[in-house]
Amino acid sequence: MTTDPLNATAQPTIQLPTPQLDGPCSIEKTLATRRSIRDFRNVPMSLSMLSQLVWAAQGVTRKEDAPQGWMWGPWPGGKRTAPSAGAMYPLELYVVAGNVEGLKPGIFKYQSQTHGLAVVSEGNRRSQMSTRGPGQKWIEGAPVLFVVAGVPARLEPRFGDRSARYLHFEVGHVVENICLQAVALGLGGTVVGSFVDAVVKQIVGMPEEESPLAIVPVGWGK
């Protein structure tokens, strides 16, 4: 466990296995076989699989110095797996882990620059994420829930009233990356947009400037 120097809160960070840049499943196959999965087997996810999924969502693919004249806040450090308007990267990725080999249940925040997980809180919180009642109880069956949060303030100084549009474009990029990477790993999942924002925000432990935008449960389909 290390401390991420780019993270202002200096949370303890768990280093993840190095993601693979090539695999046996083609993009065409993942597109053809992807389906929404809502029924999961009680089988743990490996830490290497979790590593691959968070990398697919927001991993750094090329580190770069800030371009000359950059004036839009801290430079995010390079290019990522999902495109972002103006390279502003207004999204944050949380992992609600309940059944991952080698990882204690808890809530973690993905640190793109170091490919690590910052510990937010401990304990299995999956059952609390079913904020719309019995119809969503299936969510807690997934070994991992990915929660995508948005920070509109990162876009607004540059894009003004178009910021909300760009923010939701980017959520779509990220959740599709997660779903396709899940298929390539033999896993499945789907996107959940129906939840009580304030409750999810509190459970996950998001700071004031962040808002939850999507939940993606992933695991082994039945």
CA–CA gap between residue 158 and residue 163 (Å, rounded): 8
Q: Give me the chain's average pLDDT, please.
A: 91
Q: How do residues 200-212 score in pLDDT, each as one tens digit?
A: 999 999 999 999 9
Say what the pTM is: 0.91
Q: How confident is the model at residue 8 (pLDDT cuts 50, 70, 90)?
A: very low
Residue type, 168: H
User: What's the 3-state SS for 130-153?
Assistant: CCCCHHHHHHHHCCEEEEEEECHH
In this predicted structure, which of 15-24, 129-138, 159-168, 192-201 has the lowest mean pLDDT?
A: 129-138
The number of beta carbons lying within 10 Å of the beta carbon of residue 114 is 19
Residue 122 is part of which domain span? 2-61+70-219
Query: Residues 141, 207, 16, 215: is their CA dihedral positive or negative?
Result: positive
Q: How confident is the model at residue 46 (pLDDT cuts 50, 70, 90)?
A: very high
β-strand 106-111 against 188-189: which pairing, if any?
unpaired
Output Rg (C-alpha) for the chain, integer angstroms: 17
In this predicted structure, which of 44-48, 51-55, 155-159 has the lowest mean pLDDT?
A: 155-159
Total of domains in the chain: 1
Kindly report the CATH number assigned to the domain that includes residue 162. Answer: 3.40.109.10
Structure tokens at 65: 């110095």
pLDDT at 128 > cutoff 90 = yes
pLDDT, mean of residues 209-222: 96
Q: How do residues 83-107 score in pLDDT, each as one tens digit?
A: 999 888 999 999 999 999 999 999 9
CA–CA gap between residue 135 and residue 193 (Å, rounded): 13
